[in-house]
Structure 1
Amino acid sequence: MNSEPSQTDPGTQGAAAIVCLVGDLTRFPCRAVVNAANTSLRGGGGVDGALHRAAGPGLLAECIERYPSGCPTGEARLTGGYNLPAEHVIHTPGPIYAGGGAGEAQLLAACHRNALQLAAAANCGTVAFPAISCGVYGYPVEQAAAVAMEAVASALRELPQLEQVTFVLFSEEHHAVFEAARRRRV
């Protein structure tokens, strides 16, 4: 997979750039990688499972020790990165899509906003996100991309210490949708 940005004009909000690319989130170099976690913070499938496997057992041990009650949907929790190239993992459980009338957009926006606030507080200038809730949680990719871009652009205006937010997407299809949403925001 290509880990280079697919565009030459990264969108900017304040001083921070928003970039979309196709790649492997477990190998992406950044200060903080965002985990599309489940509420237990005990690992799982998809991005969550991949990050836990790549980070090694220390990640799960820290989640259990520091966050025995897990993390509510839309909130975020910070751990070390362990064997990942990122210094930190920011865990945020996205909403399960139930048709769009159960506050899913607000919860998804909160995931992005809260993750970026934690990153800024930990002096992590570069942050990488997956497509939160777009896998088994069933969030339509087009809607999720629009919510994510709006939330990130808004948060970046308030968090000048952030330098770049990268959406590291698993497929060309997801990349095309997120890139289109990014271009609409700039």
Structure 2
Amino acid sequence: MIRFPALRCTLHGWLAAWLLAACVAPAPEPVKPAVTEPPLAVVKPAAPEAPALPPVPAPLPEPAPPPKEVLPPTPAELEARLVIELIGYAHRVATLPVEEQRRELTAANQEYMREPTGRSRMRLALILALPGTFINDDGRAASLLEPLAASAGASPLRQFAWLLHGQVSERAREQKRVAQLKEQIEGLRAIERSLIERDKGRK
């Protein structure tokens, strides 16, 4: 059998060279993808801008109202103030000690005697009409109030005098009834004492 050692070596060398060439062979170039161009954008023309509106003018301030004319108080308003003043005065006198109440009564009486106006008459009547005081005298207060209460018209002072006169007169009548009842009781007691004395004299 004929051997070909040189040929075997050559074949081995070729095989090795081929294998080496296969390992270092350049990789095939990659296939570039097809470039797809984007569709062209349709540019719409911009709408024309609306013309700017002129600024709205600020509303003008309303003119200030003319100053109200201050009218002088009417006679009825003056009398209403007088009634409120007299009621406050009577309330103050009712809270005073007895001696000061007597001084107020003396001053009011002197003012009425000096100037008998509606105010001085009402002031004196209010002091005399204070219930539960040592200066109370409903009978005299009623006599002072009667001319004012019976006067014509519907003024505040007249209305107050009419109201107070009704209350004071009712109290005066009640006091008169109480006084009459006391007199009757005292009369019965006197009769009883006389009967007792007469019975003692007979024994």
What TM-score results when the alignment is normalised by the length of structure 1? 0.21
Higher RCO (CA < 8 A, seq sep 6+): 1
What TM-score results when the alignment is normalised by the length of structure 2? 0.20
Structure whose alpha-carbon radius of gyration is higher = 2
Which structure has greater helix proportion? 2
